[in-house]
Amino acid sequence: MEYTQRNPVPLPASGPLGTIQTQMDTTFDWEYALKQHKLLALYEKGKAATWNASDLDWSIEVDIEKLMASRREAAGGVSLFNRLLDPPQPLDEKRQMEFNINMNAWLLSQFLHGEQGALLATAKIVQSVPFEEAKFYAANQVADEARHVEVYHRYLTEKLGVSFEVNPNLGELLDTTLSDPRWDITYLGMQIMVEGLALAAFGQMRLTMPDEPLIQEITTRIMGDEARHVAFGVLTLGELYRNGELTPQEMREREDFVIDATHLMRERLLMQQVFERMDLDVKVWLEWAKQTPFMKAFRQMLFSKIVPNLKRIGLLTPRVRAAYAKLDLLRFEHEKDSTEEIEAKPPAEFLELLRQLLGQPPAPGLPSG
């Protein structure tokens, strides 16, 4: 597991280590009843699907500038960035390249930081969850998360050479999830919200980087793991929330957590660090990121698994529905949850715009624009 860090990950203002105060009960399950057969089956799948990050072909060249140049050539040498994305100020070819590289590195960096959060959260679940089947699976997931941290860190520092510190709003959500003493809130924050969003974002990465074989292989392998992780949360929390085991006040607290986490992820998890690094007018470009159709569609897509998963576990309540209706997220409520289907379904308008940006022909039945 030795690799060269061409460019170490930048540190946040708080320094190389971050410490949060946590309180939780460590729970033994002396019964070992093992009655939850769906969780045990998921545990068996997890054991069988283990893979080694060192076995990937790390000799593959990663040259994003070359990929971007090939895409421009495929589009007839015409720049589609300014026309399709309508940025606040047109960017010349060099600045477009810089923007694309940094945007890609920013997203991958947040994957890395989210995976470390998942590593810590799942270790906490092993200690605190009150039944053995979940401890078994969570222990298996801890190993998965360590592998994900390893592979993203290696890709960013050895192959890509560009990376970003943790987004402050992602950091806030991770801190909240990890510091709460209730085991189900850790589940809810990590397995349903953070990893549900990540599962959709991984699908977006696969769509936007079709010509980069190493990240395609990494993403495909990690998506297989993450689909099981989210299903783990769905299976476990559904039993708790749908069966009326919590009081109305306790359910309201879970609703508040979901609504707050949604606003953090959808409204504030933006690319401010990219704009700062490129010396762009942050206020102007943040407003663009919130309003431009491509970015709005991307942020909508991130909830394509979260919404049906919340519905499955009984947390798409009237209060959550009202909040999600304001954000136009209820469009996903009838999609399949993570126990039924792994892949997220991007909105058609997002896919079409993405095809054009990549210099690909329109989908059958759609105008060529």
CATH number of the domain residue 210 falls in: 1.10.620.20
Count of domains observed in the chain: 1
Q: Is residue 17 part of a domain?
A: no
With contact defined as beta carbons under 8 Å apart, do 115 and 148 qualify?
Answer: yes
With contact defined as beta carbons under 8 Å apart, do 180 and 21 qualify?
Answer: no
pLDDT digits (tens, 9 = 90+) for 151-201: 999 999 999 999 999 999 999 999 999 999 999 999 999 999 999 888 888
Per-residue pLDDT, averaged over 111-117, amounts to: 95
pLDDT at 220: 93
The model's confidence at residue 122, banded by pLDDT at 50, 70 and 90, is very high
Helices (H), the chain: 37-48, 64-74, 81-85, 93-128, 132-154, 168-179, 183-187, 195-208, 213-242, 248-267, 272-277, 282-291, 293-301, 306-313, 318-326, 348-357
pLDDT at 71: 77
* pLDDT higher than 60, residue 18: yes
The residue ranking higher by pLDDT, 337 or 330, is 330
Q: Is residue 8 part of a domain?
A: no
pTM of the complete model beyond 0.75: yes
The model's confidence at residue 83, banded by pLDDT at 50, 70 and 90, is confident
Domain that holds residue 260: 41-69+89-357
* pLDDT higher than 80, residue 319: yes
Mean residue pLDDT across the chain? 88
Report helix, strand or coil for 55: helix
pLDDT at 297: 80
Per-residue pLDDT, averaged over 3-14, amounts to: 84
pLDDT at 181: 92
Per-residue pLDDT, averaged over 213-231, amounts to: 93
pLDDT at 200: 85
* pLDDT higher than 80, residue 12: yes
Q: Is residue 205 part of a domain?
A: yes
* pLDDT higher than 90, residue 4: no
Per-residue pLDDT, averaged over 254-274, amounts to: 90
Q: Please, is 117 exposed, middle or buried when counting C-beta atoms within 10 Å of its C-beta (0-12, 13-18, 19+)?
A: buried
236-271 as b/e: b if 16+ CB within 10 A = bbbebbeeeeeeeeebeebbebbbebbebbbebbbb
Q: Is residue 363 part of a domain?
A: no
* pLDDT higher than 60, residue 366: no
Q: Is residue 60 part of a domain?
A: yes
The residue ranking higher by pLDDT, 65 or 85, is 65
Report helix, strand or coil for 316: coil
Q: Is residue 279 part of a domain?
A: yes
Q: How far apart are CA 288 and CA 146, in angstroms?
A: 36
The residue ranking higher by pLDDT, 300 or 260, is 260
The residue ranking higher by pLDDT, 155 or 356, is 155
| pLDDT above 90 coverage of the chain, percent | 58
pLDDT at 364: 46
* pLDDT higher than 60, residue 365: no
Q: Is residue 96 part of a domain?
A: yes
pLDDT at 348: 73
Q: Is residue 220 part of a domain?
A: yes
